[in-house]
Structure formats: structure tokens, C-alpha cells
């Protein structure tokens, strides 16, 4: 997971809703989501990762860690520490159950499509 994070996983979360994604980008996002789901299912089956999280939960968590600005070596170290903390939190150890509902792929994808929804709504004239 550290390698995926270092390779850029979650790096574009801050752009969600700021432009209209193309059909090609949405298809690639769906493929990436499927791959993350398969990896998560495998790690959950192996007992390494808690079974009450979703791929969307992980993407939100990584997006939050990614939001830490990396303008200095100290802040880069803080981002790595936060990533380590987040990854330890998803390990399959004796945790209390997480509150419901969990995040879904539709929640994540909806953030990217939010601008389209707002732009498609007719504007009302002010009185």
C-alpha cells in the first residue's frame, strides 16, 4: 500500500468535481475500483484487513492523508506517519465494529460528477 501511495494513489482526490470527467476517465476509474475491490477482498479473506471496510472507505482515507500538504520534509514525514496510522487502523485486529453506513463506489464517483449535476440544473432568476 505504501508503494501505491508513493506512486500517486489518491493524488487527484482534491480535483473531484472541478471538471467534467470523460467517459474514458470514468471507465478507467471503474477498472481501478474493481482492482482495489479484488485486492481488498483477498486481504480480507486472508485475515490481514478488517472485514467491515470497503474500497471506497480506503479511497476516502487515503484522500485525507493525501490532503496533508507536502511543502517541506517535515510535512512529508507527517504524511507518511499519517499513512502508517491509517494502515494500522484497517488491520484485522480486535476492533469495535465501525458505524454504518460504509462508503460506496457511488459516493466516490459522485464526487467527480458533482459539478456536472450542478451545471445541469437550471438557474433561477433572482426576483
pLDDT digit string, tens, across residues 4-58: 667 666 767 777 778 888 899 889 888 988 998 999 999 999 999 999 999 989 8
What is the pLDDT confidence band of residue 73, given thresholds at 50, 70 and 90? confident
Considering the domain boundaries, does residue 126 fall inside one? Answer: no
pTM, two decimals, is 0.71
**Cα distances (Å, whole numbers) of residue 37 to 30, 57, 74:** 10, 11, 33
Predicted confidence at residue 67, as pLDDT, reads: 83
**Cα distances (Å, whole numbers) of residue 1 to 4, 39, 87, 89, 96:** 5, 11, 8, 13, 23
Greater model confidence, 109 or 122? 109
> 109 lies in which domain range?
2-120
Decide if pLDDT at 119 tops 90. Answer: no
Decide if pLDDT at 114 tops 70. Answer: no
**φ, ψ for residue 10, nearest 5 deg:** 85, 0
Considering the domain boundaries, does residue 125 fall inside one? Answer: no
The total domain count for the chain is 1
Considering the domain boundaries, does residue 88 fall inside one? Answer: yes
All three cell numbers of 18, joined, read 472541478
* Mean pLDDT, residues 86-93 taken together: 88
Greater model confidence, 10 or 98? 98
Q: Which of 118, 112, 113, 116 is closest to 12 using CA atoms?
A: 112
* Mean pLDDT, residues 59-84 taken together: 84
Predicted confidence at residue 69, as pLDDT, reads: 79
Predicted confidence at residue 3, as pLDDT, reads: 72
Decide if pLDDT at 127 tops 80. Answer: no
Considering the domain boundaries, does residue 127 fall inside one? Answer: no
Amino acid at each position: 500500500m505504501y508503494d501505491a501511495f508513493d506512486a500517486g494513489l489518491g493524488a487527484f482526490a482534491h480535483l473531484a468535481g472541478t471538471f467534467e470527467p470523460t467517459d474514458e476517465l470514468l471507465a478507467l476509474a471503474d477498472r481501478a475500483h474493481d482492482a482495489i475491490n479484488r485486492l481488498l477482498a483477498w486481504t480480507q479473506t486472508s485475515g490481514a484487513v478488517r472485514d467491515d471496510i470497503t474500497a471506497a472507505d480506503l479511497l476516502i482515507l487515503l484522500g485525507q492523508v493525501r490532503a496533508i500538504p507536502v511543502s517541506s520534509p517535515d510535512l512529508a514525514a507527517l504524511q507518511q506517519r499519517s499513512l502508517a496510522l491509517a494502515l494500522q487502523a484497517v488491520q484485522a485486529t480486535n476492533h469495535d465494529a465501525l458505524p454504518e453506513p460504509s462508503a460506496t463506489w457511488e459516493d466516490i464517483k459522485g464526487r467527480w460528477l458533482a459539478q456536472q449535476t450542478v451545471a445541469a440544473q437550471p438557474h433561477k432568476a433572482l426576483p
